[in-house]
């Protein structure tokens, strides 16, 4: 039975520039820009700003994203199946979360309502045999499902790697 504390969403965004962005739909600062990746450690596979988390993808193509939004810290999720798992903090002050490709603006997608505030976001890189409904057979890169789990938090803990994947990891 599905826990009543979780809402699940599935997306297939176009990961242009090898990235998918979770961001506050109304934030105008602390969002993804040209310097975001420069501030991140390459081994993280994610980049973080105050109001967004950028997920580095293995393909410049449509990708699978599963988003689980919990009302409290999630129940234990074994990390064995994942290649890589990273966590970070992000704030959604408007209570409107969007999932987009790197050059897509939040206004182009329907926002997901969440209680406004700070969240802990866990990103897991899961190898999969599944394919998005649209994808290029010829584009290079592994097919992964990017599993995003998030829950409200009060304290800021920064970026933490729960499972370090190999490097280089894409291409």
User: Of 26, 47, 20, whose CA–CA distance to 101 is shortest?
Assistant: 20
Spatial contact of 59 and 139, defined as CB atoms under 8 Å apart: yes
Higher per-residue confidence, 83 vs 37: 83
Which pair of tokens denotes residue 15? 């990961």
Report d(CA 71, CA 104) in Å as an integer. Answer: 28
> Could you read off the pLDDT of 55-68 as tens digits, one per residue?
999 999 999 999 99
In this model, does residue 71 exceed pLDDT 90?
Answer: yes
> Could you read off the pLDDT of 97-148 as tens digits, one per residue?
999 998 888 888 999 999 999 999 999 999 888 887 787 777 767 888 999 9
> Could you read off the pLDDT of 5-37 as tens digits, one per residue?
789 999 999 999 999 999 999 998 888 887 788
Sequence-distant (6+) residues with CB within 8 A of 110 are none
Q: Is the dihedral of CA 98, 150, 86, 144 positive or negative?
A: negative
Enumerate domains of the chain plus CATH numbers.
6-163 (2.60.34.30)
In this model, does residue 170 exceed pLDDT 70?
Answer: no
pLDDT, the chain, mean:
89
Percent of the chain with pLDDT over 90: 63
Please report which confidence band the pLDDT of residue 1 belongs to, taking 50, 70 and 90 as the band edges.
very low
Total-model pTM: 0.90
């Amino acid at each position: 039975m599905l826990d009543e504390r979780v809402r699940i969403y599935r997306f297939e965004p176009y990961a242009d520039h090898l990235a998918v962005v979770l961001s506050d739909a109304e934030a105008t600062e602390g969002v993804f820009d040209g310097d975001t990746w420069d501030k991140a450690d390459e081994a993280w596979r994610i980049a973080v700003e105050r109001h967004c988390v950028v997920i580095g993808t293995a393909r410049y193509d449509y990708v699978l994203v599963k988003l689980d939004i919990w009302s409290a810290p999630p129940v234990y999720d074994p990390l064995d199946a994942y290649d890589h798992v990273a966590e970070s903090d992000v704030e959604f002050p408007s209570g409107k979360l969007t999932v987009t490709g790197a050059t897509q603006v939040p206004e182009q997608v329907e926002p997901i309502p969440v209680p406004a505030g700070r969240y802990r976001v866990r990103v897991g890189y899961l190898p999969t045999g599944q394919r998005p409904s649209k994808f290029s057979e010829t584009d290079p890169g592994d097919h992964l499902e990017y599993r995003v789990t998030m829950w409200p938090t009060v304290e800021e803990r920064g970026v933490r790697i729960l499972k370090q994947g190999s490097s280089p990891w894409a291409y």
